[in-house]
Structure 1
Amino acid sequence: MDINILNQTAQAMVAHNKGLIAMDESNPTCNKRFADLGILQTPEMRRRYREMIITTPGLNKGINAAILYDETVRQRLSDDTSFVKAVEDASIIPGIKVDMGAKDLAGFPNEKITEGLDNLRSRLTEYSKMGIRFAKWRAVITIGNGIPTPRCIVNNAMGLAQYAALCQEANMVPIVEPEVLMDGNHDLKTCFSVTERVLHEVFEQLYKQRVINEGIILKPNMILPGTNCPDQSNTEEIAEMTVKCLLRTVPASVPGIAFLSGGQTSSLATARLNAMNAQYKSEIPWALTFSFSRALQYPALEIWKGLDENSIAAQNALYHRVQLNANACQGKYLSEMEIEGHQRQY
C-alpha cells in the first residue's frame, strides 16, 4: 500500500469543483431503464449507450472520475478502443463497481447485506492491471418498523471496511457508499438519526480495519425525508441537516464526500448540493461534490432512446447536466440555468 498514491488519486477525484459520473448500473437496473423507454435490452445497446456517455465532448470539464461496470470494462468502443483507455483519453480517472449486490440478511427480515468479498483480492488485481484506479462498494440500509437493526448496520459497516482495506492494499481508492434509502414515510429527523448511527459505525470499522482516511472517498445519502413523508422539507433544511450530520461523523482527513442521488430528481439533487456549498463551504474540511447516476444520465437517456441520430442532442443534455452540478460544487447554481440550458442545448 502506497499512502501517497492513494491520497493523490483521492484528491484528484474530487478536485477543481468537479464530480464523478456513476456508469456502473447492473445489467438488470440498466435493462429496466431501457425497457421503460422502449430500448432493446442487450449487451450491444448497453455498450452503445455507455460509449455515447464517455465520448461526450468536454465531459472532463465537470467530471473527474467515472465508475464503470464489469461488463463495460471488458467491452470496446466502435473504433476498438477499450473503455478504460477511452476514459483515460478523456482525462477522466477510471473506476469500477466491485460489490455483487445487496441480498437478504439471513434472520433479519426486510434488511440487506452486500455480497462480493469472495475473490475480491484477485478481482482487484485484475482491474488494477487494466488501469482501474478506484473501486466502489454500496451498502443498503432501509428505514422501517424496527429497522435498521444494530446487527444490519454493523454487518454492512464491516463489509465496507473489509472491502476498503483490500482496495488500499491494491493501491486503489475505495469509494465507501453506505446508502440510507429514501423509501418509506420517515421524517427528516429520523433519516438524520439513522445516517448518524450508520456513519459512526462505518468509520469505527474502517479504523479497526486500518483503512487510511486520506485514501478514501465517502459516498453517502443526503439527509432526506422518506418519499412518502407528508413533510418533504425545504432545500435549506436538507442542506443544514446533511452538513450537520457529516460534521458529527466524518473525519476531516477524508479528502471528499461525493453524494449519491438516491432517486432524487436531477434538479433537486443539484439544488440541494448547491445549498450545502453556498452556505457551508467555508465551514467544512472536505470537498462536497456529486457521484450521480440517474440524476446525471436520465435527461440524456430520454433523448437518446437507443437511436444514433439522437446521440449529439443526448450528449448536449448530459454536458449541460454535468455543468449544472459543477456550478453546484461552487454554490453558484441557479434554477434559471435549467431553462437556459434547455433552450441553448436542445
Structure 2
Amino acid sequence: MSFAMSSKTSSFVGSVPTNQRQARPLAANRLVVRAGPYDEELIKTAQTIATKGRGLLAMDESNATCGKRLDSIGVENTEDNRRAYRELLVTTPGLGEYISGAILFEETLYQTIRDGKKFTDVLNGQNIVPGIKVDKGLVPMPNSNGESWCQGLDGLAQRTAEYYKQGARFAKWRSVVSIPSGPTSMAVQDCAYGLARYAAICQGSGLVPIVEPEVLLDGDHDIDRTLEVAQEVWAQTFKFLADQKVMFEGILLKPSMVTPGAECPTRASPEQVAAYTLKLLKRRVPPAVPGIMFLSGGQSELEATLNLNAMNQGPNPWHVSFSYARALQNTVLKTWQGEESNWKSAQDALIKRAAANSAAQKGEYDPSKEGSEAGEGMYQKGYTY
C-alpha cells in the first residue's frame, strides 16, 4: 500500500517530525575560542626564543646532578661553587647572539652573581629569556617493567605564579619513555597526560611550557623501532595537549632525535637521523608550534651539532634548533677546572660550542674546525638529572 504525502505533511527524521523539533539557540553551536590572560605574551616569548640562529642553554641540573659534574673536575659540590659555575655560563660575553633562553634550576633563579645582580637580570641584559625547570623528577612506576613517571603537578600553579614574579618566562618539564622497558601503554599515556596538564598550568601563569617527551637512548633497538615508539608518544602528547586546550602557538617542543639505541651495533649517519626525525615531525607536530628545541640526550658535542645541521639543510615549518646541556657544557667544565685563571678560556669554549650550534640551526655548520674533544661520547646508561 502506498500513501501520497501532501505538501503539508511533515517529513520525518527518526521518530520526531522536523516541524515539531525545536531549533537550538544559535549560541549553542558557536565555537568556544580560548582567550587566556597571557596569550599575547606567551606567543611573543615563544617567538623570541625561536629566533634564527639561536637555541637554549639547559643549565637546570639538580643540585645532585650538578654535583656529579663538579666532582668530575675535582670541585666540591657546594652552593657557592654551583653559583660560580653558573655565573661563568651566563656572564659569557656575547652569549645572547647564539642563545635565546636559559633553563635554570630553582636555586639559580633566586641567586645573584658576585656583584649582586640577579641571574635573571644578567640574562635579560644579554637578551636571553630566563626559564625554569618545574618538574620534581622521575620516580618508579608501580606495576611496570622498570619504567618511570614524572612528579610535580601538586602545587604547580602556585609555584609557576611565583616563578613568573621572579622573572621566569618559560618552563621545562621532562618525562621519559624507555624502549627496553616496553614501553607500556600506561607509561606512554602518563608521560603524555602529565606534560599536557603541566603545559596548561604554565600557560595560565604566563610561562611558555617546553614540552619534553624524551625517548631514552638506552637499548640496542634500531632506528625504525625508535621511530615507531616516538610516533605513539608524540601522538598521545599532542592529543592530550589539545584536550587540555593548550595553545600550540605558545609552547615549544623539546624532543629527542630519532636515533638507534645507544647499544645498537648499526649506527646512523647525520643524514639518516635527519630524515627520520623530520619525517616524525611532519607526521605529528602541528605547524602552529613555533620551535622544536632538540635535546642532545647523551650524544657527543660533535654528533649533536652534525645531526642538527643535517635537519636544517632545507626549509622547515618550525624553528628547528637546540636545547643542549652536556653538548654545550662538557668542554666548558673540563676547561674551567674550578680555577679562576681558566674563567675566560672556559667562556671561550662555551661561545665556540654555542656558535657551532647556531650555525647548525641555519644549516651552515663546518665541522673542520672542531677539536678531538668535541667527539667524546657522553652517553650514560640510566642517566638521571
Fold similarity call, TM over 0.5:
yes
- Is the 2:53–2:358 Cα contact (8 Å) retained in structure 1? yes
What residue in structure 1 maps to residue 16 of structure 2? none
Q: Partners of 1:339 and 1:297 in 2: how far apart?
A: 15
SS at match of 1:332: coil
Q: Partners of 1:19 and 1:341 in 2: how far apart?
A: 22
Q: Partners of 2:142 and 2:241 in 1: how far apart?
A: 24
Per-residue CA deviation, residues 262-285 of structure 1 (Å, 9 max, x unaligned), is: 00000100000000101xx32x21
- Is the 1:320–1:341 Cα contact (8 Å) retained in structure 2? no
What residue in structure 2 maps to residue 100 of structure 1? 136
Q: Which amino acid aligns with 1:266?
A: E
1:298 alignment partner, one of 330, 337, 343: 330
- Is the 1:98–1:135 Cα contact (8 Å) retained in structure 2? yes
2:149 alignment partner, one of 113, 127, 132: 113
Judging by fraction of residues, say which structure has more helix. Answer: 1
What residue in structure 1 maps to residue 297 of structure 2? 262
Matches within 5 A, 1:45-56: 45-56=81-92
What residue in structure 1 maps to residue 193 of structure 2? 158
Q: Which amino acid aligns with 2:139?
A: K
SS at match of 2:171: strand
* 1:287 has 2:301 as partner: no
SS at match of 1:76: coil
* 1:222 has 2:254 as partner: no
Q: Partners of 2:209 and 2:194 in 1: how far apart?
A: 12
* 1:199 has 2:234 as partner: yes
Gaps of 5+ in 2: 1-35, 375-385
User: How many residues are aligned here?
Assistant: 338
What residue in structure 1 maps to residue 357 of structure 2? 325
* 1:184 has 2:216 as partner: no
Identity %: 45
Deviation at 1:247, TM superposition (A): 0.6
* 1:67 has 2:103 as partner: yes
What residue in structure 1 maps to residue 343 of structure 2? 311
2:243 alignment partner, one of 204, 208, 218: 208
SS at match of 1:296: helix
Q: Partners of 1:290 and 1:89 in 2: how far apart?
A: 21
Q: Partners of 2:178 and 2:372 in 1: how far apart?
A: 38
CA RMSD of aligned residues (A): 1.3
What residue in structure 2 maps to residue 275 of structure 1? 310
Q: Which amino acid aligns with 2:219?
A: G
What residue in structure 1 maps to residue 164 of structure 2? 128
Gaps of 5+ in 1: none
Q: Partners of 1:30 and 1:305 in 2: how far apart?
A: 14
- Is the 1:271–1:333 Cα contact (8 Å) retained in structure 2? yes
Query: Which has the larger Rg?
Result: 2
What residue in structure 1 maps to residue 127 of structure 2? 91
Q: Which amino acid aligns with 2:227?
A: F
Q: Which amino acid aligns with 1:289?
A: S
Q: Which amino acid aligns with 2:210?
A: I
SS at match of 1:274: helix
Q: Partners of 1:160 and 1:339 in 2: how far apart?
A: 38
Per-residue CA deviation, residues 267-317 of structure 1 (Å, 9 max, x unaligned), is: 100000000101xx32x2101000000000111111001111111000000
Q: Partners of 1:184 and 1:30 in 2: how far apart?
A: 25
- Is the 1:137–1:177 Cα contact (8 Å) retained in structure 2? yes
More off after superposition, 103-112 vs 43-52:
103-112
What residue in structure 2 maps to residue 252 of structure 1? 287
